[in-house]
Amino acid sequence: MMSSFDDRQKSYESKFAHDAELAFRAEARRNRRLGLWAADLLGQSGPEASQYAEALLATALGENGGGRVFERVSADLQGHADPQMIRTKMEALLAEAWQELRGA
């Protein structure tokens, strides 16, 4: 028979895994939308914009994904958007993604 401590530990582990998955999904949504936004600023649309967004998703994999995404978009958007504008857009898109995931 499991003790209440074991039950509580499993519950915390399950919640941690769930929260980590939600965070991953929220960041992926943010990055895809950021890629589409950046592609639009670069004059890309349709399949070209989707390819850019998908490439941005790949950039985000691994450690410090958000930092690498910001660096790539900042480099790509030089002359189109300043770093503060990009950070603000990233924050807004992440909040939007979280709201959608919590509402779903």
Q: Which tens digits make up the pLDDT trace of 44-55? A: 999 999 999 999
The pLDDT value given to residue 29: 95
* Structural domains of the chain, count: 1
Q: What is the pTM (predicted TM-score) of this model?
A: 0.84
pLDDT digits (tens, 9 = 90+) for 58-70: 888 877 777 899 9
Instruction: Give the pLDDT score at 104.
Output: 62
Please give the biggest Cα pair distance in the chain.
64
Domain of residue 98 covers 4-103
Q: Say which residues have a Cβ less than 8 Å from residue 11's Cβ, sequence separation at least 6.
A: none
What pLDDT was estimated at residue 46? 96
Q: What is the CATH number of the domain that holds 15?
A: 1.10.790.20
